[in-house]
Structure 1
Amino acid sequence: MPFVAGSAGMLAVGSYRITAVSMDWDEGATISAAGRSVGQILGLAGHVDGVITPYYLLIHFWTGIFGTSDLALRAPSLIAMALGVGLVGELGRRLIGPATGLVAALICVAIPALSYYSAQARPYALAFALATLSTLALYRAVDRPSWGRWSGYAGCLLLTGVVHILAGTVLVAHLIIVGIRWYPRRDRALLRMLPVAGAAVVALGPLVVLGSRQQQIQLAWVTTPTWRDVAAVPERIMLSPQVAFLLGALALVAAAVRRRRTAAELAALALVPVGLMLLVSLAVPVWVPRYGTFALGPLAILAASAVTAPARPPVALRAAVVLGLLAVEALPAQIVTRQTHTSPDARGMAGVIEARAVPGDGLVYGDFAWSLRPTMEHYLGRHAWSPPARAPRDLLLTDDAARLDSLDARECVDTAACLRDTRRIWLVTPLHPGHPLDNGTPKMVALRARYTIAGTWTRDQGMISLLVRRG
């Protein structure tokens, strides 16, 4: 029941308005990579996003079957998150009991971050599901140690790291759990974990090396965490300070009312991977709050264990009150995540062009073209352009990103020459204060010298401007 209810609930909540928001910044990279051949995806891995290559390959084959609509691109995340929440319910059932598993799964359904990543074409939902599966496999092996079960655990751990390498930090929490279970009786069968986990780590070694080499490229924007960043970790992971406060309070209650070993193990699963990423970030900045999403499952179980602890009033009444309060507190964030991803609305900007374009129009991208170009092409290609109208030509494009084994295409160096005598140009840029042509890059200087702005439209964090040639 916890697995079925959790999966069904997450499927229902996650699928609600799943395509309401257009593909965002990072999803632009997924669109770009998924449309390439296998060889081109592997070529990209040698330069950037190497640690996400397995996910790109999955989406490449998935879209080959189901197409490249927004729903098709996001469906793997929705399915993975639904299964992951179901697995949280099963893990809670095995560790504490059916009521705890059910409440934990329903808590996960309410957490805004899990709904958000279930509707994003990125690997975080898969990491959540596989990290939870590896923890479940660990407990099965701990309860009845055998080489077969430990090998199954190692396979789950390997898949977790393959989908998202930093989700592999769950291994450190697993080592703590095995240590806690081993210490009272010194059961040697538990030590079988060490060679199989070591084999998984060795298998992940090439991915770790590749990621470390690309860290300066891929995570150059990430800064060393401060104490303020550490204090904000709960609300940034959950995307709601109210939800973070409620679940944190329940987790503290659980530490007092539940068995010390169970509470310690769940606390290790929830805190140790995140703490390790923060600690590593003091030397090599890698911490981004979404990377810690997979730790929300154990936290939900810990919170649920407080709700279902033997006490008065009845468990059903306590669970109804807590889940109702959680739903109310999560609602504002649940609404916001279905209205904007704080990214340019490429779908809306494509609609502006489609409604106003005339034959001969051109298209130019400003900053962040690596994401804007694939998302705009994604939506412009879906419009029914009736003759003689057609999608504006990308005036500055000389080599597409796939040929360059990059996420960024190569543009014409001599902007003025490539603009030729194009009378009207659609300029696509992120939303920023001031004049759209104020950017002092050579591209904008060339545009400002020859064109005047006839109109601008903003769509979320994106801006589209119609430039008309002077004279």
Structure 2
Amino acid sequence: MEFRREPHWLRPVAPHLAGHRALEGRGLLVVLRAYWLLPILLLAAAARFYDLTAAAIWGDEGSSLLLSQYSLGEIWAHAAHDVHPPLYFMLLHGWIAVFGDGILAIRSFSAWPGILCVGLGVWLVAQVANRRAAILAGVLLALLPTAVRYSQEVRMYALLGVWLLGATLALVYWVRQPWRRRYLVYYTLLMSAAFYTHYFTALCVLAHWSYLGLLRLQASPANRTLNLPGWWLANVAIVLLFAPWLPGLVDLVRHLDQLKANGDVGWEPAVELVSLPSMIWQLLTQDEGDSLPPLLFASLPLLMLGVVALVAWRDRSPWRLHWLLATYSTLPLVLVFAVSFISPVFIERYLTAYALGLPLLVAIALDQLLEHARPLALALLLLFGGAEALGLKNNATVDSNDQISVLVDYVNQRYVAGDRIVTSDLLWYLSYVYYNRTDAQPLLYTPPTPAGVSTRPNAYGFGTLVDQQAATLYVDSLSALPLGTGRVWLISTADQPDEFAPLPAHWRQSAEFMAGNVKARLLLMCGAGVSPSPSPPPCP
């Protein structure tokens, strides 16, 4: 059976035909019908570019920017010591070379893939359902809060969504036309790119294989695509394409203890039974929902479970493509949740690419309910849309004063040549350096423990980004700082005990400024610049 090409409604009408129909008095209607995808993409763009620069660069984003400053060869080497593969950072390196490192430019590198994800989601639903479901899917995916949030960060999660949705779409085409081997070529390239972007791509592999296994066992008539040599060869090709990175991955696994020592892994909170429903709330509303009454807390996860079950159960097509969306969206969440009882990795942003399937399933369910149960369809639309609206509101809630950029600007304006700037934590350092406009290199405070053990980062995780600067970056003792102007800026967490305590006895605080959870203090080394004595006299 020959599978149809892209539906005619997914392609715009030729301009001269649209103009001709407009002359017949149906111009606006024709344009809307011909270019209906454009408003959806504009909606996705509006959601992702709205307040794109409002929040300051945080530590993870700062690490992306710092790594992207290296050459491509150095990125490859450093990423082998980091917790993520190198492709995103290499592409970001090229993007910055063309568009610069302004906050709008660098965050746009995630916003555009986020918009592309919406287009791919529409295309995917158009293949497994119909036009109405595709339109609904586009609107719901355009407004999905977790997708919007991670389309506004200088990290790889939106790009990963492009690769995985694209690979899933290629799999759909191949399952329906297994003699078209070019779809397996597309699949191989997209999955290889995904593996070079994030290690959680392995969950997509499990979802795809599980779908083909279900298709082999449950479909009637039996579908034997799982047995075809082309599928196995495609997966072997993915392994071979990823093989150049395997030595770095093996080395990284061997040094997990050093990653834990730096806090790059092992920081994730332990999971409980309520963590799974909390994740659903987090993905859809950007709030864990743990303060809600139990029945209300259970309602949204149960609603999503019902949607998945409905869509999968009603699919009687030969290829059971709704099963593919169901396994793609649910299997990774359940697997990571189960694994996290052993080693916690149940983090929202790691699973955002798989959450992209949830609004697609809701759209298909809405399309089915509209045929026979319109009140239920309306209720589902209001509930899911309301959750998304709440999540978008939570996303847009940014306190302009609770930003490290405000604090760094305060220091920039009051900086005097020769001042020292010392940060208490590597994450503060990674954010600080992006906004620093002084000629001073920010330093990192690394005091030994009471037992004399060094707290300097090692060469793994974020530590790989700064390890080469150890001789000039780390400050083991505040007393060892050169006098310079006699002024030291200390940057630390505001709501914790003083991370720099005890301060040298002759230091006196001159100013303090707080921006949310981070504070800057200006300390004077009393007598600096006044007395030539190596031991400045006490302050009056």
Within the candidate set 43, 68, 71, 2:101 is matched to 68
Within the candidate set 242, 252, 258, 2:306 is matched to 252
Within the candidate set 347, 356, 367, 2:405 is matched to 347
More displaced stretch, 399-408 vs 136-145: 399-408
Q: Which runs of 5+ in 2 are unaligned?
A: 1-9, 11-35, 290-296, 447-455, 527-538
| Contact 2:87–2:193 (CA under 8 A) maintained in structure 1 | no
| Contact 2:66–2:465 (CA under 8 A) maintained in structure 1 | no
Amino acid at match of 1:236: Q
1:80 and 2:99 aligned: no
- Distance (Å, rounded) in 1 between the aligned partners of 2:270 and 2:306: 28
| Contact 1:30–1:121 (CA under 8 A) maintained in structure 2 | yes
Within the candidate set 264, 271, 275, 2:330 is matched to 271
Secondary structure of the structure 2 residue equivalent to 1:307: helix
- Distance (Å, rounded) in 1 between the aligned partners of 2:298 and 2:256: 29
Amino acid at match of 1:267: A
What residue number does 1:124 align with?
A: 157
Within the candidate set 311, 314, 333, 2:391 is matched to 333
Measured after TM superposition, the shift of residue 365 of structure 1 is 0.9
Q: Deviations over 1:387-415 (max 9, x none)?
A: xxx55554669999999843465313343
What residue number does 1:96 align with?
A: 129
Mapping for residues 225-264 of structure 1, pairs under 5 Å: 225-238=271-284, 239-240=286-287, 246=300, 249=303, 252-253=306-307, 255-256=309-310, 258-259=314-315, 261-264=320-323
Aligned length: 452
Could you say which structure has the greater relative contact order, defined with CA pairs below 8 angstroms and 6 or more residues apart? 1
Amino acid at match of 2:363: A
What residue number does 2:18 align with?
A: none
Measured after TM superposition, the shift of residue 339 of structure 1 is 4.0
Measured after TM superposition, the shift of residue 448 of structure 1 is 4.2
Within the candidate set 188, 211, 225, 1:177 is matched to 211
| Contact 1:20–1:339 (CA under 8 A) maintained in structure 2 | no
Percent identity of equivalent pairs: 22
Measured after TM superposition, the shift of residue 289 of structure 1 is 2.1
Measured after TM superposition, the shift of residue 253 of structure 1 is 4.2
More displaced stretch, 192-201 vs 323-332: 323-332
1:13 and 2:13 aligned: no
Measured after TM superposition, the shift of residue 465 of structure 1 is 1.6
| Contact 2:486–2:525 (CA under 8 A) maintained in structure 1 | yes
Measured after TM superposition, the shift of residue 229 of structure 1 is 2.2
CA RMSD, aligned part only? 3.4
Measured after TM superposition, the shift of residue 19 of structure 1 is 0.4
| Contact 1:44–1:405 (CA under 8 A) maintained in structure 2 | yes
| Contact 1:40–1:405 (CA under 8 A) maintained in structure 2 | no
1:461 and 2:517 aligned: yes
C-alpha change, 1:320 and 1:8, in structure 2 (3 Å) is: farther
Within the candidate set 182, 206, 209, 2:250 is matched to 209
Measured after TM superposition, the shift of residue 352 of structure 1 is 1.1
Amino acid at match of 1:252: G
Measured after TM superposition, the shift of residue 61 of structure 1 is 1.4
More displaced stretch, 272-281 vs 260-269: 260-269
Bigger Rg, structure 1 or 2? 2
1:42 and 2:105 aligned: no
- Distance (Å, rounded) in 1 between the aligned partners of 2:189 and 2:101: 30
Measured after TM superposition, the shift of residue 141 of structure 1 is 0.4
Measured after TM superposition, the shift of residue 254 of structure 1 is 5.7
| Contact 2:429–2:444 (CA under 8 A) maintained in structure 1 | no
Within the candidate set 234, 242, 245, 1:196 is matched to 234
- Distance (Å, rounded) in 2 between the aligned partners of 1:133 and 1:333: 26
Amino acid at match of 2:92: I
Give the TM-score, by structure 1 length.
Answer: 0.84
Amino acid at match of 1:29: S
C-alpha change, 1:109 and 1:228, in structure 2 (3 Å) is: same
Within the candidate set 60, 65, 77, 1:26 is matched to 60
Amino acid at match of 2:306: L
Give the TM-score, by structure 2 length.
Answer: 0.74
| Contact 1:107–1:323 (CA under 8 A) maintained in structure 2 | no
| Contact 1:167–1:291 (CA under 8 A) maintained in structure 2 | no
Greater fraction helix: 1
Amino acid at match of 1:72: A
